Structure 1
Amino acid sequence: MAKWTPAHEAPEPLEGPVVATVTGGTVIWFVLFLAQLPFYGRLDDSGHLWRLWTCLVGTGLGLFGIWYARGREAAIERAAGQG
């Protein structure tokens, strides 16, 4: 198997309001969870209860993402201050 070599360099990663984007996504997941909560019985009867729990898991992962993105931005700022 031959070693793969890229034809050109990878582009720089896109930077933007990462924490705001992750926070917005987390809020959307939580709102979707709350919107489906009144229909718990209907979702359970039709076998679609996984939709409710998917929204809750999305919220939990979003909270982790907020924590991670804030730490990443703080580390980037620290590194920029040292250089």
Structure 2
Amino acid sequence: MTQPHRRPDLEPMKTNDSATFLAGTALWAVAAIVLLIVQPSPDQRWWLWTCLAGIAGGLFGLFYVRRRNRRAPTPPSDPRWSRAPPSRPTPRTSSDGLTGLPGGTANAFVGCA
């Protein structure tokens, strides 16, 4: 029984998790400031506590992501993104000593006349 062709695994997508947590924490802080200005009724004070919990969760997430990034091993460098100049391929030589197309350049002009 033949097995179907399996595609190679994709590389994980690189994201800026710190910016995500900072943006979310900032939004929770803005919501908390708005609620402090508006002063909701006493039975709606849980909204403010929800914002404070969101700020606390965002700060914890920011701490966690930065700690994870510090401890993560450095990934191997990808040769496609290296700053080294690309190596030049050596030209092929044909049987008649001419470089370029296999069989010499004379074969490229056969039938062109």
* TM-score exceeds 0.5: yes
TM-score w.r.t. length of structure 2: 0.53
State yes or no: 1:28 paired with 2:24.
no
Q: Percent identity?
A: 34
Unmatched tracts of structure 1, length 5 or more:
1-9
Q: For 1:28-64, what per-residue CA distance to the aligned partner results, in whole angstroms no more than 9, with x for missing partners? A: 1011101101233x331xx211111100110011111
Runs of 4+ aligned residues of structure 1 deviating over 6 Å after TM superposition are none
Structure ranking higher on relative contact order (CA contacts 8 Å, 6+ apart): 1
> Cα 1:12–1:54, aligned 2, differ >3 Å: closer, same or farther?
farther
Tell me what 2:55 maps to: 59
Paired with 1:25 and 1:18, the residues of 2 have a C-alpha distance of 11
Tell me what 1:69 maps to: 65
- Bigger radius of gyration among the two: 2
- TM-aligned CA deviation for residue 15 of structure 1: 2.8
Return the match for 1:80 from 62, 74, 77. 74
Unmatched tracts of structure 2, length 5 or more:
1-8, 77-113
AA at the equivalent of 1:66: L
TM-score w.r.t. length of structure 1: 0.69
Q: How many residues align?
A: 70
Please identify which structure carries the higher helix content. Answer: 1
Paired with 1:70 and 1:53, the residues of 2 have a C-alpha distance of 26
- Aligned residue for 1:80, secondary structure, equals coil
